Each structure stands twice: as structure tokens, then as C-alpha cells.
Structure 1
Amino acid sequence: MKKVWPAWLLLFLGAFLLTTAGVAKFWAPGEAERTPLNSYQRTYLTGTADKLDAATGKVETNLPVKITNITQIDPNKSHGDVVVFVTSTCVNIDTDNPPDCLRYSKQDPRLISNTQSNWAADRVTALAVEDPSVTNAQPVQGLTNKWPFNNKPITYPVWDDVTKKAFPATYVGNVTVQGVNCRQYHQVISHAPIDLGHGIKGFYNLDETYTIDQRTGKIIDQKLHDVRTLKDGGGVALDLSAEYTPQTIADNVKTAKDGAAQLKLIETTLPLVGLVVGLICLVVGGLLLRRRRGAGSDGSADQPVELSRS
């Protein structure tokens, strides 16, 4: 009887591929669409600002400004469902090539602000959550450093670290940035009371537009106008406009495209290839096995052939 192992091998391979396709289709998306636990990013915004000089009482105008956001994940506190972000935001007057982050202890006149924050977020929804491992003066709410996968044309709450509150960011339309399909959201904060430092009371106004990759939730671009005024007299303490640098946008686009390609491989390509190739293997394996068994049952394939004598 001829060997039938090729048929069984194809049947086993077909069953394996179909199982893999099912896992990739129905289980993998829930695992793939999660904020990774090894993320690190440094983004840059540039712009200009009018700033009150506390020493002279005069407002310096049209100062070049650089903003650096450093976001990384604390792997010791993050886990399967929750990711813990550690974020630094450094705002400097961009003269004489300052480092990304200046320290308050150095009393550098180029320093506008230097803040550090940490918060926990759901790895799927990207919304901030309360986590006992993260200490905050006040629970963080809304979206922080990332937006949801497959974000929708709706209004999302977005955390503002100046007021320590979440404010609505309203969907305003779709745009394409270097081949990436994005949604734009607009957030406005008006006349919010804040402490300007040194016990000085003031008001805070923010107008910010977020450009978000639809597929991965990656922030592609940000444009902001931040105005802080004195409560007494309404004089300007800070009037700052900034947006992502072209290099930061290009880096964000690449990250978004790489992430979307991985999701497509896991959620679309693998299930389709597994289904098609698996079915082919099952059909071919079944035909080979049937043929071998049929050939063996009538004996024609197993009988020796006698040579006729003349």
C-alpha cells in the first residue's frame, strides 16, 4: 500500500491554519489593540510667546519658544489592563540652544515651565483610570497621552494638566496627513481660574486642535494657543502659540503607519491567508487520502505486474 503520510500532513496543516485564522480573527484584535508597554516618545512643538517679566513688570513679546514632551511608560506599575504614563512637559524660551528641559533650581531666565505628571490609563479605551499604584493630588480623567484605537467622530473628554480637569474635545472633521487618515478634535477652555505662581491669581484660556490617526489613536499633530492673564487688571502673563515641528509630525506618521500595518497583518492578512491556504490543504489532503484508499481497496495498485512470455 502506498504511503498516505502526505495526505495526513496536509490535513493537519489545513486544520492548524484554520485554527490560526480563527484565533487571529476573533481573539487577536482584542490583544493587538492595546497600548504597548514599551512606549517612549519625545515630541517637540515650536512657536512664539508674549511673557510677563516678573522682575521688570513688562511684557516681552514675540519670544521664540520650544516645548518638549517626554512620555514613557513605567513597566513596573503597568500590567495587562492598565498602562502608567510618566510625562514631563518643558517650555523654554528658545535662545542660545537650551536643553530640552531646564531645571527650576538653575534659575535660568529662559525657563517658562517644567512640569512632571504620572497617571494610569486603560490600555484599550485610553481613558484615565484610578490605580492605587499611581499617586495624584487629584484623580485624572479623560484622555491623556493617547486616543482610542478606531476613534469615532464624537466628543471625547481630554485632560488638561493646568486646570487639573477634563474638558470636551469636539470632533470637527477628517484630514489626511502624509497618507494617514486622521480625525481632528477641537478643545476650548475659557476663563478658568488658576494660580500663576507666587500666590498670584489669574485666568487661563486654551484653544487646542488635535489631529489623531483614526486607526491607532496616535496623536499626529497638535496646535495650541495658551493665554494666561492676571486676575487683577487682566494684564497678560503669558500668550503662547505653538504646534508640532515638521520632524515630529513625520515621526508620528511613521509610528502610526507601522502600527496600522501590524494591525492589518494580525487582523486581516493572517486570517485571510490562514483561511484560504487552510481550506486548500484540507481539500488536497482529503482528495489524496481518498485516492490512496480507493487505490488500495480494489487491489490494482498493490498487485505485482507479470511480464508476458513470448
Structure 2
Amino acid sequence: MRKSSWIRTGSAVVLVAASALTRFSVYPALHQVPDDTRTTFRFEGSATLLNPPALETGDLSEAFLADLPVILDRSVEVRDTSGRTAVVADGVVLRGRDGTRLNSSEDVWAVDRRDLTERPAPAGSGAGKHEGLVISWPLEPERRDYRFWDTGTRKAVPARYDRTETVSGREAYVYVVKADGALADPATTKALPPALPRQVVAGLAAALPADRRPDAAVLAALPETVPLTYTSTTERRAWVDADTGLSLDGALHQTVLARTAGENGPVTLFPVTDVSVRGAEASVEKQADEAAGTARLLWLLSTGAPLGLLVLGLVLALLALRGARRRAGEGERRPGAEPSAEPRTPQRR
């Protein structure tokens, strides 16, 4: 075999091996949550909140900031990775449109870097316990229901696949998450009073719109010191890119209510927070652009590059085989190796 055939054959082997390496090693290594992930998604909407300055001064006529225009920024940052596990900080900051910080929270989770479900928390990470999805959706989402961790009630609830829509030119799966129950978020419950004087509760109720006030007779029957419990109700809608699992858009309505026990069952007294927001247009467009770029890269690594390398390797292998066969045929037809085509005539003596 000539040197050129050896080169072609060797190159073909290298290309086929590179094709397999790209598809089955490079692609899986890159198709996971990167260790330098840091993203922020902005929501816009309105909120009704208790007004701390009014509560401190006792001016309960201004006890609520009603229908306040707000901005909610949710940031996700990977703090550490170990194999398939990523330790992620999940932060939420609620601000008024003037930039005034109204509320904030942060949780730390340990998640799988591919399907985003729970993973054992590494020692010393401070990651909280959870079940199912919590920060985002699998990198390869499906048209099916998932389990989602509700941070308000600290329990897993269904995330139901609802429909498929188009968001900024991208195909998106729409999931709906609903959760309600006793407020279990430790940071929030720690900041709320376990009881209030009846006079304060009545003043807060009086500051509400008439159709949202508790019955006056119920208020009058409350004890001098009213024990309080809190409930959390959350409804989320997520528009998730069908190719990459990136969240393209989202909507959130979350309410925390103060309640107490009445003669005929629990009595809702007043809202602590009532936030309703939807993804800001700029954030939606940014996510769609990122999803498009990520989808192209994933296609290149999973299909384009491996297929191209495989085809080129096979072409070189065929050329090497064809060259070897041609040279073998030429060797059989060399002068002296073939019988004469014309019969010899015997010579007379």
C-alpha cells in the first residue's frame, strides 16, 4: 500500500473517531448547566403590600401600598459544580419602579445539571432540601407534566403541560404550576408577627376595599390578642423553549394572606403581599436570542459536526480503498506478467 493510501486510511480513522468523540463525549459534556452560569430575568407588574412606615406610626389608613407598579428581578447563579451536581443561588428582588427595594429573598439549591431535578446537597453548600424542578426546566423538555418545588409552601406540586405556543419566533411549551397551603418559607414567616392586637387587625381590615374586608361581626368576636397564621397561594405560567429548555417568558401571581381561627373555621383577615407580574419584553427577547444561539450550537455538536466528520471519514476510506484496488489491478497487468494476446506460429526448419 502506498504512502498516500496509508495517509487517507489513517485520516479516515481519525475523522470517524472524532465524529464519535464529538457526539458521545463533547456534546454531553457541554449539554449541561455551565459552571459559570449567571442570569437575570426581569418581570413587571403590580403589587399590594403592607406599608411598614404606616404600621410603625400607627396610621393604619395608609397601611397598604395598593396596586403599586413593581419590577421583580430573579437571578440564578451557579456557585459550585461537582460532576452532575450544580449548587445554585436563586435570588429574587422586588422593587418599585423608582428603584426602591420592597422585598428580597435568596435560596440555595443542589440540582442536576441536565434535568434540573434535585441532587444530594454537597457538604457545606448550604443547599436547601427540595423535590423536583425548582429553578428552571430540563434541557430537553417534553410535552408532559413535571413535579415543581413551590418555595412558599415548601412542597412539590404538579407542573402541568398546557399547550404549545410561539414566543419571539421560538416554539415554546407552556406549563402551569398552582400551589396553596400554609406559608412555610422560613425567611418570610420569621419576619411576620405571630399575633396582633384586635384593634390593629380591625384597623388593617378597615383600610381594605369594602369587598375584601372581613365581616364586622367576625372581627368583633376575635380575642384581644389575635393569633395569626399565614397562607401562600401561587400560580406560575412558564413558556419554555422546546429545543433548549430555557425559560422564554413567565407569569407569576403570588399571595400571602393573614388568617386566624374563627367560630366557623379559618377567617381571612388581610393580605401581606399580593404580587402579579409578567416577563418584561426586553428579557423575553434576550432569552429568545439566547435560545436560538444555544440551539444552533447544540445542533452543531450533536448532529452537524459528527455527521460531517463521519461523511468525510467515509469518503477518505472509499478513496483509499479505490486507490488500493486500482494499484492492484495495474500490478496484474505489468509486461511479462500477462500471456501474449496472439498465438505464436511454429517456425520451419
Consecutive unaligned residues in structure 1, runs of 5 or more: 99-109, 301-310
Aligned to 1:49: 47
Q: Give distance in 1, aligned partners of 2:280 and 2:36.
A: 24
Q: Give distance in 2, aligned partners of 1:131 and 1:236.
A: 34
Q: Secondary structure at the match of 1:117?
A: strand
Structure 1 counterpart of 2:329, one-letter code: G
Seen in structure 2, the aligned counterparts of structure 1 residues 132 and 272 have a Cα distance that, compared at 3 Å, is: closer
Report how many residues are paired. Answer: 282
Aligned to 1:105: none
Normalising by structure 2, report the TM-score: 0.75
Given the alignment, which residue of 186, 192, 196 partners 2:176?
A: 186
Aligned to 1:210: 238
Contact 1:8 1:289 survives alignment (8 Å): no
Q: Give distance in 2, aligned partners of 1:282 and 1:198.
A: 73
Q: Secondary structure at the match of 2:292?
A: helix
- 1:178-223, Cα deviation, whole Å (9 max, x unpaired): 2221111101112433537332432111111011112221111110
Q: Give distance in 1, aligned partners of 2:139 and 2:240.
A: 10
Normalising by structure 1, report the TM-score: 0.84
Structure 2 counterpart of 1:214, one-letter code: A
Q: Give distance in 2, aligned partners of 1:209 and 1:153.
A: 15
- 1:70-117, Cα deviation, whole Å (9 max, x unpaired): 22111xx3122111112221111222xx2xxxxxxxxxxx43311122
Q: Secondary structure at the match of 2:325?
A: helix
Show the 5 A alignment for 1:5-84: 5-54=3-52, 55=55, 56-57=59-60, 58-74=63-79, 77-84=80-87
Seen in structure 2, the aligned counterparts of structure 1 residues 60 and 93 have a Cα distance that, compared at 3 Å, is: same
Q: Secondary structure at the match of 1:16?
A: helix
Show the 5 A alignment for 1:1-310: 4-54=2-52, 55=55, 56-57=59-60, 58-74=63-79, 77-95=80-98, 98=99, 110-133=100-123, 134-136=125-127, 138-194=128-184, 195=189, 197-200=191-194, 201-232=229-260, 233-296=268-331, 298-299=333-334
Q: Give distance in 2, aligned partners of 1:70 and 1:14.
A: 47
Q: Give distance in 1, aligned partners of 2:149 and 2:171.
A: 24
Seen in structure 2, the aligned counterparts of structure 1 residues 153 and 193 have a Cα distance that, compared at 3 Å, is: same
Contact 1:196 1:202 survives alignment (8 Å): no
Q: Secondary structure at the match of 1:235?
A: strand
- Structure having the higher Rg: 2
Q: Give distance in 1, aligned partners of 2:269 and 2:235.
A: 18
Q: CA RMSD in A?
A: 2.1
Name whichever structure is richer in helix by fraction.
Answer: 2
Q: Give distance in 1, aligned partners of 2:116 and 2:103.
A: 26
- 1:204-259, Cα deviation, whole Å (9 max, x unpaired): 11111011112221111110111121114431222211011111111111221111
- Aligned-pair identity (%): 21
